[in-house]
Amino acid sequence: MTQDDNLTEASKKSESERTRIERFAQWLMTREERRSEKETNLDTLVKLNVLVSFLTLAMVGGVDAVRAAVMFIPYF
């Protein structure tokens, strides 16, 4: 085995390792994108839930109950 053969084997290992790392990085990026999409959907569902809750409160308790509930919402 010559020195050129050793360099060729080392470069092949390096390239295969790089592609493994690149595939892993791509998988992480895809997973993060999916997770952010789920969080966006969750935010939308929370907003919808709050809206429906206030509408239900208005139908059951009237406008005065909604005003009282809004007073208890903390503003940051």
pLDDT at 35: 83
Distances (CA, A) of 19 to 8, 10, 24, 27, 31: 16, 14, 8, 12, 18
Q: Is the pLDDT of residue 23 over 60?
A: yes
Q: Which residue has the higher pLDDT, 28 or 15?
A: 28
Q: The tokens 């005003």 sit on which residue?
A: 67
Q: Which residue has the higher pLDDT, 16 or 36?
A: 36
Q: Is the pTM of this model over 0.75?
A: no
For the chain, the average pLDDT equals 78
Least confident segment among 1-5, 7-11, 47-51? 1-5
Q: Is the pLDDT of residue 51 over 80?
A: yes
